[in-house]
Structure 1
């Protein structure tokens, strides 16, 4: 009987781990990736603007 309890608890642990991974970790990672993409686009725009202004002043 004790063996069955361990199996049930192991299955519940795996289900909880999957819930945490798919419910919290993956959305957080995608959010960080979106933030990094937006920051990269802003940095690209700034570099392009500075480059254009520097070339026009010559």
Structure 2
């Protein structure tokens, strides 16, 4: 009986760790990477546009 109770408590703890700690951290990391990718894209776009405009101005 004690083993079953410990197995159930272990399963509940595992679910808590996965859904309470791991998934929010993973989604937070993905959100951070998405924002970083958008910022990098905007920087590349700005530098490319500035380079093209400076060439055509000469």
* TM bucket, shorter chain: over 0.9
Give the whole-Å Cα distance in 2 for the aligned partners of 1:9 and 1:53. Answer: 64
Give the whole-Å Cα distance in 1 for the aligned partners of 2:2 and 2:21. Answer: 28
After superposition, what is the alpha-carbon deviation per residue over 1:22-48, rounded to whole angstroms, capped at 9, x for unaligned? 000000000000000000000000000
Give the whole-Å Cα distance in 1 for the aligned partners of 2:14 and 2:6. Answer: 12
Give the whole-Å Cα distance in 2 for the aligned partners of 1:51 and 1:6. Answer: 64
CA RMSD of aligned residues (A): 0.4
Q: Unpaired segments of 5 or more residues in structure 1?
A: none
TM-score by length of 1: 0.93
Q: Which runs of 4+ in 1 moved over 4 A?
A: none
Q: Unpaired segments of 5 or more residues in structure 2?
A: none
